[in-house]
Each structure stands twice: as C-alpha cells, then as structure tokens.
A and B are shown apart, each in its own frame.
Chain A
Amino acid sequence: MTKEVVLLDLWLSPFGMRVRVALAEKGVEYEYREEDLGNKSQLLLQMNPVHKKIPVLIHNGKPICESLVIVQYIDETWKDKAPLLPSDPYQRAEARFWADYIDKQIYSCGRMLWTTKGEEQDAAKKELKECFKLLEEHLGDRTYFGGDNLGFVDVALISFYSWFYAYETCGNFKMEEWCPKIVSWAKTCMQRESVSKSLVDPLKVCHDFVLPRRKTLGLD
C-alpha cells in the first residue's frame, strides 16, 4: 500500500459518498478502491473485521470504519481547511444529533421504499416524507445546514441526493413537491466541485441498480 490515504468504497453507497465529499472538501488526495460486495477483498475483511462493510478509510495503514466516524476523523485530522463541525460545543452537539437522525431514518426508510410495494411501501413513503419535512424545517432559511458553509449535517445528507430519483421513481412522487427547500439546498451543494465530483449520477443509481434489483425481487 503506497498511498497514505485509501478509501474502500462502493460507487453508489450514500455512506461512501459522504467520505468522498469530506476528503474533497479538505483537498486530501487518496486512492479510491471499488469493492465488490459479493466478493469482498482481503483488505476489506482485514481492515473491517467486525462489520466487513464499506466505507473504510485507511490512513497510514490504520483503518477507520463507519461513515460519520470517518467524516469526523477527517475533520479532526485535516483541520486547517474547510471545518465541517463548528467549534462551539452546543452547535457540534446539534450537528451530531441531526447527522445521527439522518443515519437512522433516511437510509432505512429509503431502503424500505425501494425494496417493497403496496402497503409496506406506502408506510415507508409516509415516514420518509415526515423525515424530509423535519429536515426542511431544521434547515430553515439557511444556505447550508452548516450555515454559510458546507457542514457535517450537509455531508451526512447530501449523498442521498444520488438516491432521490430512485426514491421518486419507485415511490411515484416528487421530492420537489414534498420538500422544495431540500431540493434547492441539494442543488446549491451540487454547485460545489467537492460534491458534484463525489456523488454519482442519480439516473445511474436508478436504472443500473435499483430498477433491475426490484425486478429480481419480483416487485415490478
């Protein structure tokens, strides 16, 4: 392993994308390694023996696992540029709380939505809508959740933008109608190179992965 920073990742993982955004914000050069989850590399199994999951950041040979743990690590290690967490303890607590909320709610509701149909899907849709509306309320009139600059909560949530189109297609709704401010916030984030270069094409996520998977699951 010659590079100082290595990221074990999966192209469409919203968790992996968070790490990519954080590294890009800090201007950290790294080696990206795509994992095949059906055939996990020895390196992944060695570096994350507990969960065997991506993303894993390897910094000078030492692994860090779990996306929000990794993002905080990145923030604390490369602290001279683009701080993601504020310095005030209360604002940090707020940011951690909302990032944790996003972690617990958006992924699982979103997953439920695209892997089910009928009543189950309706219930997931309802819950997902409530989550986004709550986040929209929390965003308020700010440009970013981090205020004037991209912050921890922005990084935690923006990676799901790659999945919005898949959610909309599977659930037959429009994010723009549910939470226009969130959509507008996402577009603002996408104007930053750190974000646009780190996120994958939402159409690809939908057409290359989600819809074929739904077919395999016998849902469509």
Chain B
Amino acid sequence: MSKEEVKLHGFWRSPYSRRVELALKIKGVEYEYIEEDLINKSPELLKYNPIHKKVLVFIHNENVIIESQVILEYIDETWKQNPIMSQDPYERAMARFWANFVDQKCLPSLRKALWGPETEQEKATEEAKENLKILEKELQGNNTFGGERIGFVDIVANVIAYWVSVYEEAVEKKILTEEFPALCNWRNEYVNNSIIKETLPPREKSIAHARAKYGTSKASS
C-alpha cells in the first residue's frame, strides 16, 4: 500500500492555514507542513498555484486545492472520521452560510474596526459589534457553533476565537467584550481545547508582529 502524500504550504501567522491544520488534527491525518515565506514564495508553491499565488496550498497525492473553506470540505469528504460537517443538507447549508458570514462580513468589519482609518473607526466598530451580536445570537448558549462539538463554522471562526484578541492587545482596543457572553465563553473553550491549542501560533510573537504592523503610537513600551 503506497503512502498517501498530504502536504500543507502555510504561513505561521495565517489563520487560514491554521484552519486546515485544525481539521487535519481533528481527523488524525498525518501531514507535512511547509512554512512559506510570503516575500520569497517557494518554487513548489508557485508551480502549484500559478494563477493566484496565494500561500495556502493543500496537496493530497496529485490533488492541489486552495481556499481554506474549499480545503476544509475536501478534507471532510476525503477522511470521514470525526466529521466536521453534518450529513443533513439543511445543516450543511447553515454551516456554509455562517462560515460565509464570518469570512465575508465579520472579518472585514473587525479588521476595519481594529486598524482601519481612524476617521472611520467609530462606524466600523459599530458595524463589527452588530456582526458579533448576530453571531452571539447564533451560538444560542451552545459551547460551539457545531452544536455538540467543533465543526465547520468553529474552525472558520478561528480568527474570532484567537486572532482578534491578539490584535486587540496589539492596538489596545477591545471589541469582543463581555457584552458578548456566549462568544466569550466559546472563545475560552476554544483556546483551552487540547487539540486546538496545538494549532495556535505563539501568542507573544503574534502580538509583537501585530503591534509592529498595526500598533498606534500610544502602545506601551
């Protein structure tokens, strides 16, 4: 039986490659991780992803897949143990809907609120909080978006669970506050989950980088 080739070209800071790693760990799939340098992308990466040249590339034998949500569904359909998506069409539709909401609405509004132009920050913060309110309601007091266990939406929402608090500390601004008790609880459970913990980038290093990139002059020395 020939060995399966499972490779992930990622970037340590990227929540997107961490999503894929989390899915692989949940399923117990062994893989080779290749750290990419965003400035000097490896020839292998450019060969596999010539059109979009994006860092996140997942390779399974001859199959090359990009875009984190597409990769997650591929992983779930290929390795069926510990499913991250339900088999029920309606629940799958809901998972895809909420994952899109996180990526297309929440994240851009959070980014704008945290380090967008100062003149727009107040409005951006309002919008970001509106989006978080919607997510808060969707959690409905569950520990995870997946219901009983970590699922597709939880994996995609990793940015909210971890990276947001990193950026909050770097720019000294709080968005995900106690006014969102369900999300705070979810976040706590998330970062303390034994499998997820392994997939998170080192906190101090992440904060230092974010501070250098987005921090304001009022950052404490």
A interface list, Cβ under 8 A from B: 50, 59, 62, 64-66, 69-70, 72-73, 76-77, 89-90, 92-94, 96-97, 100, 134
Bound Cα distance A66, B73 (Å): 18
Knowing A77-B89, A97-B65, the reply to whether A69 touches B96 (Cβ < 8 A) is yes
Query: What is the CB-to-nearest-CB distance from B24 to chain A, in angstroms, rounded to a whole number?
Result: 15
User: Taking the complex as formed, is B192 at the interface, i.e. its CB lies under 8 A from any CB of chain A?
Assistant: no
Knowing A93-B74, A96-B70, the reply to whether A73 touches B89 (Cβ < 8 A) is yes
Which A-chain residue is minimally distant from B97 (CB atoms)? Answer: A69
Q: What are 28 A-B pairs with beta-carbon distances under 8 A?
A: A50-B101, A59-B90, A62-B90, A66-B96, A66-B97, A66-B100, A69-B100, A70-B93, A73-B90, A73-B93, A76-B89, A77-B89, A89-B77, A90-B63, A90-B65, A90-B74, A92-B77, A93-B70, A93-B73, A93-B74, A94-B65, A96-B69, A96-B70, A96-B73, A97-B67, A97-B70, A100-B69, A100-B70
Docked-complex contact B66 and A97, CB < 8 angstroms: yes
Knowing A69-B100, A92-B74, A97-B70, the reply to whether A50 touches B92 (Cβ < 8 A) is no
Which B-chain residue is minimally distant from A92 (CB atoms)? Answer: B77
Q: List residues of chain A with CB within 8 A of the CB of B77.
A: 89, 92
Chain B interface secondary structure, helix, strand, loop or mixed? helix
Q: Name the interface residues of B48-70: CB closer than 8 Å to any CB of A.
A: 51, 60, 63, 65-67, 69-70
Q: List residues of chain B with CB within 8 A of the CB of A93.
A: 63, 65, 70-71, 73-74
Which A-chain residue is minimally distant from B131 (CB atoms)? Answer: A50
Query: What is the CB-to-nearest-CB distance from A108 to chain B, in angstroms, rounded to a whole number?
Result: 12
User: Taking the complex as formed, is B177 at the interface, i.e. its CB lies under 8 A from any CB of chain A?
Assistant: no
Which B-chain residue is minimally distant from A75 (CB atoms)? Answer: B89
Q: Name the interface residues of B132-156: CB closer than 8 Å to any CB of A.
A: 134
User: Taking the complex as formed, is B78 at the interface, i.e. its CB lies under 8 A from any CB of chain A?
Assistant: yes
Query: What is the CB-to-nearest-CB distance from A205 to chain B, in angstroms, rounded to a whole number?
Result: 25
Which B-chain residue is minimally distant from A138 (CB atoms)? Answer: B51
Which A-chain residue is minimally distant from B78 (CB atoms)? Answer: A89
